[in-house]
Amino acid sequence: MSGLKGVGLLLLWGSACLGLPGLARGALVISGDHEALQETRGAAKSLQKRSTNEAMVEVFSVRVDCTVTSRFAHTVMTSKALNKANASQEIFFEVDLPKTAFIANFTMEIDGQTYVGAVKEKEKAKKQYEKAVSSGQTAGLVKASGRKMEKFSVSVNIAAKSNVTFILTYEELLQRKKGQYEILTRIKPKQPVQEFQIVTNIYEPKGISYVDAHATFLSNELLPLVVKTITDNKAHISFSPTMEEQRKCSDCDGTIIDGDFVITYDVNRAKSLWDIQIVNGYFVHFFAPPDLPRVPKNVVFVIDRSGSMSGGKMAQTREAMLAILKDLHEEDHFALIQFDNRIESWRNSLTKATKENVSEGMAYVKKIRDNGSTNINDALLRAVNMLLEDRKEKKLPERSIDMIILLTDGMPNDGESRIPNIQANVRSAIGGNMSLFCLGFGNDVDYSFLDVMSRQNKGVARRIFEGSDAVIQLQGFYEEVSSPLLLEVDLRYPENAVDSLTTNHFSQLFNGSEIVVAGRLTDNDMDNFMVEVFAQGYEEDFKVQGQASAVDWDVMYPNEEYIFGDFTERLWAYLTIQQLLQNSKTASPQENSNATAKALDMSLRYSFVTPLTSMVVTKPETEDGTDSPLIADKLTEEQRQQAERVSYRHSPVQYSRAPTPTYFVDGDPHFLIELPDRNDALCFNINDKPGTIFNLVRDPKQGILVNGQIIGDKKIPPDGKIKTYFWRFGIVHQSLGLKLEVSTQDILVLQDGKQVKLLWSDTASVKGPNVDLLLTKDRSLTVTLKDSVKFVVLLHKVWAKHPYHRDYLGFYTLDTHLLSPFVHGLLGQFYHGIDYEVSDLRPGEVPEKPDATMFVKGQELNVTRGWQRDFRRDVKNGENISCWFVHSNGTGLIDGAATDYVMSGLFKTV
């Protein structure tokens, strides 16, 4: 979505946004006489309606207040807006919040009247929700928003000249990872906000060792606006830019603030182990002792090499494994197992991680190639047996931890494929003697299967999202579990002094993490509160004990208006609910029922929105006398993944699942750059004489080249305008020695002096060592270059006896993030983003196509709102995509002139 007034109407701030109804949904508008929301296909209608309403909503205050007390974060988002219009209208409120957080309250204040959310059992709330939806009313939803966040979105009808205040509260226990805690606030204020402020206060009685605040959008000019005040046990961080400081430029409507605002910190790790907080009859114990030697690990890496891992996944897995092997300590032992329908071990037993052995292991990893189906059962049993045999033969250090790390992207479909049987087999084989960590790569993997199997075997599962940073994700997870410090950690408290303990036994403690135990006190006599910790250390058993004592908060933090004195109780409830939900996945049916019932009871008692509950807010009555409830839910990881799958099913299977930009040229010829992050697109045409060859993509670093040749109509049409289309493409991968010539007649593949010819009348799948081809009869060709980009060519067949037009091709590029920063060409230059602003919407020559002013690459261009057709879903009719059309062969948008991209041959670079 651009920064245009009347186009970029979603008024976002901090993690929140206000906007008009169609604004949050892109193609929806609302009329002044309260008609129902309508979907419009005409881009101009939508834009003109939005521009009429946009100035009618004034956002005059947005504040994000976060208070962290002993790692428990309480965040309140408050947003105020005024309907300046002479008629009532709908206003949207959207918030991105961490997926680990529980919503605790949502309130709307409308002209002095307050509407407060009530937490109800999910099934009861669902009935209200379904009733609202069936009557055509709008209900609030929570949806996945990226990897770490969830989006809460509601709308409310506001009378003329009325104001509304939205207040959302959520809470979470911050988890220590890699030696720090993280507080994340997502900020996407598509335009400046009058009063914008983020304020965070951190209270840590043990003392704060460091605090850092940064954001993806912070420039040198904005850095001084991040104010930090730090004392021994308190930190205050604020960020409050003025409207002018938020602007990209003095006369732009867009804002420079767009991204994540992140605060990281850690507490002092004193020699004392007693970081225990006791408030109002509840205690919380944080255990992360400093300066412990790491315990050697024996790790078997089990790597899926099945066919579904082809391309980028396999390349990223190899790259990550090479980095991971480099990080092994010499006292560690490791093994490598790769599998598809066959199981192949690097060596028959684990190997000590000497420099020589690691080097040989890395050479083995470099040779792993994808092939075949997926036999997870036998691969894991091979890993378990290898560890058991080495233990039996005393090849491994007595005091060391045994672990298996499985990386897979698919469902088991070879050997034992029934999931309950695989889980039972692995659990029986491991017998509680080792930890299993499962990494699920991509969206086809059954995450629930991996999650349960990991929890059954003293491990955890983690989703690895497809994307350019998959290698970083893999390395990051390994870093979390690569340095065990203690095994079989048992934290004990006086039986007569506490009850309702959260989990107090842990299989391992890793460097940079933290164990948290909370409970309720039954005896207020603190003289009796003796704490003991037992564990297995590197060279000897670890055993400490000590006397806990309460902190007097009034003395430590005088004159502080403490935001919630019951934080230990709410922390205990949060942790208990989380653990009950986790444990229910691996429990017996009876235990599952009991755990679920208890978690539901606590969710209702503490007003937490969990996977078992929903928050319901009844909106004010509308003019027709109806009201519609707003519903806030909590997604499980499985639900998030299912939602992603459902969304993906609406796209052809060969296309990337991530919401990445799409770049294509189709039609006569229309170039389109789709930008989902902005809910917008740019487009331009290139016109030249038939026979001209243009460079579309050129990556000199990777040796990739794509040129296309245009062809004209058979003869001049009655309107005198001859159209041109791409009819032939030349694709080169120099380092692979590969050339493809794709025309409207056939496909020629040339490599190593050999030539393969495919016809569009075929349906074929060709899998080579360096390129995969998928040909769908008379429709599309998908070209997947090994470890690199993917191209899709669409065939448009025209009636053979058409008096003017000919068959032509469309060219679409996918996985462009795998290309280097040096990529260029008519399409390639846009692969790494384009920054622009649009303003001054005005009538154009055609009523349905308004004009506007675009600021791009230091130039001011006249652009027109129109649409081009995207044929990915429907190769015959296409789908209209609204875009800003740049005239004169893309002049001002593309680098240089269109003639600069003319080539002398289909495989030439000049």
Q: Which of 41, 36, 14 is nearest to 155 (CA)?
A: 36
Phi, psi angles (nearest 5°) of residue 13: -155, 155
Distance in angstroms (rounded) separating the CA atoms of residues 789 and 834? 20
- Please name the residue that has the structure tokens 């935001």: 563
Please list the alpha-helical segments (H only) found in 585-664. Answer: 589-605, 637-648
Write the DSSP assignment of 253-296 as a string of letters.
Answer: S-BS--EEEEEEEEE---S---EEEEETTEEEEEE--SSPPPPP
**Which domains, and CATH codes, for the chain?**
297-482 (3.40.50.410), 670-890 (no CATH)
640: three-class secondary structure by DSSP: helix
Neighbours of 397 (CB within 10 A): 16
Using N-to-C axis directions, what is the helix angle for 312-326 and 470-481, rounded to 10°?
Answer: 30
Q: Measured in Å, how far apart are the chain's first and last C-alpha atoms? A: 36
Torsion, CA 254, CA 834, CA 873, CA 776, rounded to 10: -170
* pLDDT number for residue 85: 85
338: three-class secondary structure by DSSP: strand
Distance in angstroms (rounded) separating the CA atoms of residues 24 and 12? 10
Give the predicted TM-score (pTM) of the model. 0.67
Q: Which of 305, 649, 144 is nearest to 444 (CA)?
A: 649
Q: Which residues does residue 705 pair with via DSSP β-bridges, in sequence order?
A: 698, 732
Phi, psi angles (nearest 5°) of residue 876: -90, -55
The H or E element that residue 419 is part of is helix 419-430
Structure letter (DSSP) for residue 180? B
73: three-class secondary structure by DSSP: strand
The H or E element that residue 795 is part of is strand 790-796
Write the DSSP assignment of 472-512 as a string of letters.
Answer: HHHHHHHHHHS-EEEEEEEEE--TTTEES----EEEEEETT
432: left (phi over 0), alpha (psi -120 to 50) or beta: left
Instruction: Spell out the residues 6+ positions from residue 669 whose beta carbon is closer than 8 angstroms to its own.
Output: 685, 686, 710, 724, 725, 726
* pLDDT number for residue 876: 75
What Cα–Cα distance (Å) separates residue 817 from each residue in 320, 469, 789?
17, 10, 8
> Averaged in consecutive runs of 10 residues, what is the pLDDT profile of the chain (910 residues)?
28 34 24 28 35 60 92 93 84 85 91 87 74 52 71 81 92 94 84 88 92 84 88 92 84 78 90 76 90 94 90 85 91 95 95 96 92 91 97 94 92 89 96 94 85 94 82 88 93 89 94 94 76 90 84 74 72 94 85 90 92 81 56 75 51 34 83 80 90 94 92 78 89 88 93 85 78 86 83 88 85 83 90 82 79 85 87 76 90 91 91
Distance in angstroms (rounded) separating the CA atoms of residues 837 and 460? 45
Buried b (16+ CB within 10 A) or exposed e, 660-679: bbbbbbbbbbbbbbbbeebb
- Numbers of helices and strands, H then E, in the chain: 15, 55
* pLDDT number for residue 291: 86
